[in-house]
Amino acid sequence: MAELFKGLERIEEARERLTGASFMAGVFVGRPDFALLLPPPEPPDERAAGEAFCRKVEAFLKSHVDPEEIERTAKIPEAVLKGLFELGAFGMKIPKEYGGLGFSFTNYGRVLTLIASWSNILSLTVAVPQSIGIAMPILLFGNEAQKRTYLPRVAREAISAFALTEPITGSDAANIQTEALLDRSGAHFLVNGEKLWCTNGPIARYITLIARVPARKVLQDGKPAWVPTRAGENCDDKVHTAFILPMETPGVTVLERCQFEGCRGIENAYMRLKDVRIPVENVIGEIGKGLKYAFTILNVGRAISIPAICLGMAKQAWQPTLDRANSRITFGRPLAERQTQRMRIGRMATDLFAMEALASLVWHLADQKSYDIRIEAALAKTFCSEKAIRFLKDAQIIFGGMGYETAESRQARGEPGFPMEQLVRDAEMYRIGEGATDILRPFVAREALSPHLERARVYLEGRLTRAAKRREWLRLLRRYVPWYLGLLRRRPLPDRVELRHRKVSEKLLFAERASRRVARTILYAMARYREALRDDQGRQNRIAEIGEDLLTIAATALHAETLQRAQGDGQVWDLADEFFREAVTRVDANIAGLVRNADHPPAAVGQRTLRSQYPSLSSGIIHRGLHDYIRKD
């Protein structure tokens, strides 16, 4: 039970406890600290700098970037990339002392949203080097020489990328096989392996490479550390390590530029590394910390980049969808007059408002630097990517056949060339990239259960004598009885002006009550289901979905209050209220589902299906399995 999720042992080893303030960590133990959601306001000069840069980028996009050309040719013109480098768009988060703009995460998110509203492909190309390319790992974990050497280059001239995934691993990052072996001289690592889905790989000058290094464990200054073993020496393990790899290094071969359902302009590489020599100076940080570094930098993409791009895509579709609903006449009436479409438009408006509220909040939390936002980042990524897909599919329904036909085809006969079907195709990538939804939700559940697993680790590991187990149980009982009783008492909201608004307090008080309910129910589920909870992704998903809704309830309430106070826009409460109404129903159902649910019957049918117990489902067709589609030539 201590290793809660089967198959994630190496990820568990790389995981560190929450070290900074985390609103969501408090939510899952019944003690949400709403003051954490009210950090100091954004400095006016920072906001002004971001908005001024947005105006420059907007002018550049309108005059130099043709999104239709990018989609048609599946290529971003070199002149566009050069122009963005000249503006500084590839160095937004790099400090000024290293040649960047030194922007806040909030300003970075604003710019990515703007670019994505014109071309999500271009926004992703700009985001990757700054989220998971070499800039972030060097900034966070590199030495000063690496910062002075590489950061000015990637800020102004060189695209970078991230090489983690491999053909047989997918999201299972801990089981990569690419190996970096220290040569006998101790001066270079010799790297062999393959990497897949390396975004920007074909056009990158540098990549952050995660590879496994044969190493032995030693004590340094009284602490355990990994030291690489040289060729021919025995090792204790092969540990994940991060490297800076120049793409022109001999032995690096891009075997294929991957093609996808959408995101046609993305340069994505399948590459082979054969006897690639990387100097020891190119190790980022410590040997054996590569997986930890990878998870840390992925937080930036989850918290900032993916929500920003999804928000930009949804906003791009918003006005054309309203125009279509108001102008399309069916059976003598506009679509906008039909209740079905009004309900759909209302849901889209609510989703768009919630996406912006949650994204803005998480960006602001990231700017505080002292917060640990790994849970909030995962929830922002899953929420915004899932809502963007629903939003765009709703828009496509309103467009009807025009939303299924390509923009180029419609333009040929004089129709507006809005790329509705392209946006739908492209959006799916953001559900998958930087942690698929079905991976991130168990991750969130693991963090939610973490305090209980730490306290009960000795008891749950089951290696105690009967007497020792009784003593440990009594210790836990003394700890949990007061804790549980404390969850029956309501905690007042912080005395802050933002929380005195009636509608804000109503929503946050519900979130506080629900937090205490879910904390009690999680404890009950752990006590009742124990080891079975390890593989129970239905319950794990519910824990994550509850957290997602409670965080977004708070975000939408605070966002509406801010807009009303700053702009006098009281109508936004319609949107916050509607999200709250829907979320309350989901939260109640998910908390109940942690105890009793109907997950077993469909899972059992699925298990029997995988054992081929329903042969009639494959009858009446030309039968072909997956491997029948491998090309024989």
Q: Which residues are catalytic?
A: 434
**How far is residue 440 from each of residues 25, 28, 293, 435, measured CA to CA in Å?**
15, 16, 17, 6
Closest CA to 262 of 154, 416, 80, 119: 119
CA atoms within 13 A on the CB side of 592: 8
540: closest CA among 556, 526, 561, 559?
526
* Contact indicator for 216, 227 with CB cutoff of 8 Å: yes
The first and second tokens of residue 14, run together, are 């790389």
Q: Alpha-carbon distance 348 to 135, whole Å?
A: 36
Q: Which of 66, 103, 75 is nearest to 88 (CA)?
A: 103
Whole-number Å distance between alpha carbons of 538 and 370: 33
Answer for the pair 273, 251: CB distance below 8 angstroms, yes or no. Answer: yes
Q: How far is CA 549 from CA 379, 511, 591, in A?
A: 9, 9, 12
DSSP state of 548: H
Backbone phi, psi, residue 405, to 5° = -80, 145
Chain-centre distance for alpha carbon 370: 20
- C-alpha–C-alpha distance, residues 31 and 29, integer Å: 6
> What is the DSSP secondary structure assignment for residue 490, as one 8-state letter?
P
Return phi, psi of residue 261, to 5°: -55, -45
Secondary structure string (H, E, C) spanning 126-140: HHHHHHCCCHHHHHH
SS3 at position 216: strand
